[in-house]
Amino acid sequence: MSRTWTFTDIEFVAAWESTKEGYLPEPFVFTSEPGRHRDHRRARIEAAERVRSRCGPELAEILATMAQPDIRIVVRGFDGHDLQNAERSIRILAARKGDNAHMVIQTPGQTLWHAEGFTMTEHGVIGLADAVVAALPEVGAGRQPDFTFAGGAGGDRMDRPRTGPAVLHRGDEPAVMGESFGAAPADLTGTITVAQGYSRLGPRGIRRRSLGWRDITGDGRYLIVSGNPATVLAVDRKRMVGVLNRQIADVVRAIKDERTSLGN
């Protein structure tokens, strides 16, 4: 049974300070309530003491690995009809290092810039993609066949809310399918980024892979695999996990290649 930790918003912020990384990691946010700086600082100190008492020193070690992982997965999702709808906002960070993997989910707050709290779970590295996909709302696969179009995962066109009548039609030409897909209203839309945690070559050496997804209203879920052209796949949970695992495997290969080329 994997372990689970729950935190209030300020408890997670206070716990994260032990990593010396400064701000919360992408994609998380925290907005404190109005008040004096001295009061906020006292509240964080008290929150840190509660977390240490409840979780022990191991938590700081776990957060340190999340701050400097081998691989991180960042998930950001929005209500496709109203980008400002905080209740449908999705913010997830998953990270793995060595044989350890953890995932943190931010519970939405009163606005997009607030957090109600955070939940962290422990996972095996092999099952991390399953955990990430399982954290998304359950939606069946779209009904249209796979297709390609000129564009990328999670571009501006894909992230805007749609309310028009556009629908996808089986048999349309790829260019037409791409236009219909981009214009079709979506209940939920978002991006998943798989990235190398660090590189000895610096920022230019970090391998990243990006996916987008759109839950088309009245149809189902589609995954957008970045490329030129981009590929759009109708995905159920199993297929989405498979695609995400391939993205992770690509980053793992990049890490191994870098270590080999630089003599470990």
Query: Which residue is listed with tokens 């953890």?
Result: 102
pLDDT at residue number 84: 94
Q: Are residues 126 and 11 both part of a single domain? A: yes
Q: How far is CA 97 from the centre of its chain?
A: 17
Give me the sheet containing 115-123, strands edge to edge: 4-8, 115-123, 100-108, 90-97, 71-79, 186-196, 208-216, 220-225, 230-234, 147-149
CA distance 190 to 77: 4
Flag whether 208 is in a domain.
yes
pLDDT band for 78, please (50, 70, 90 cuts). very high
Q: Are residues 130 and 224 both part of a single domain? A: no
Q: Are residues 26 and 87 both part of a single domain? A: yes
Within 10 angstroms of residue 191's Cβ, the number of other Cβ atoms is 21
pLDDT band for 32, please (50, 70, 90 cuts). confident
What are the tokens at 77?
């999702």
**Per-residue pLDDT tens over the stretch 79-120:** 999 999 999 999 999 999 999 999 999 999 999 999 999 999
What are the tokens at 217?
């209203």
Q: Are residues 111 and 19 both part of a single domain? A: yes
pLDDT at residue number 164: 43
Q: Are residues 35 and 61 both part of a single domain? A: yes
Flag whether 160 is in a domain.
no
- The length of the chain in residues reads 264
Type of residue at 204: R
**Per-residue pLDDT tens over the stretch 161-197:** 444 444 444 545 544 456 778 788 999 999 999 999 9
What are the tokens at 8?
């209030």
Q: Are residues 111 and 151 both part of a single domain? A: no
Rg (CA), the chain: 20
Flag whether 210 is in a domain.
yes
**How many Cα atoms within 13 Å fall on the side-chain side of residue 138?**
0
Flag whether 140 is in a domain.
no
Flag whether 164 is in a domain.
no
Flag whether 195 is in a domain.
yes
Structural domain count of the chain:
2
pTM, full prediction: 0.89
Q: Are residues 201 and 256 both part of a single domain? A: yes
Domain range spanning residue 25?
Answer: 4-135
Q: Are residues 105 and 59 both part of a single domain? A: yes
Q: Are residues 84 and 131 both part of a single domain? A: yes
pLDDT band for 264, please (50, 70, 90 cuts). low
Flag whether 45 is in a domain.
yes
pLDDT at residue number 177: 58
Q: Are residues 175 and 129 both part of a single domain? A: no
Q: Are residues 10 and 122 both part of a single domain? A: yes
CA distance 5 to 59: 9
- Among 186, 223, 207, CA closest to 259: 207
Phi, psi of 59 (to 5 degrees): -60, -40
Flag whether 165 is in a domain.
no
pLDDT at residue number 41: 87
Q: Are residues 131 and 151 both part of a single domain? A: no
CA distance 230 to 243: 14
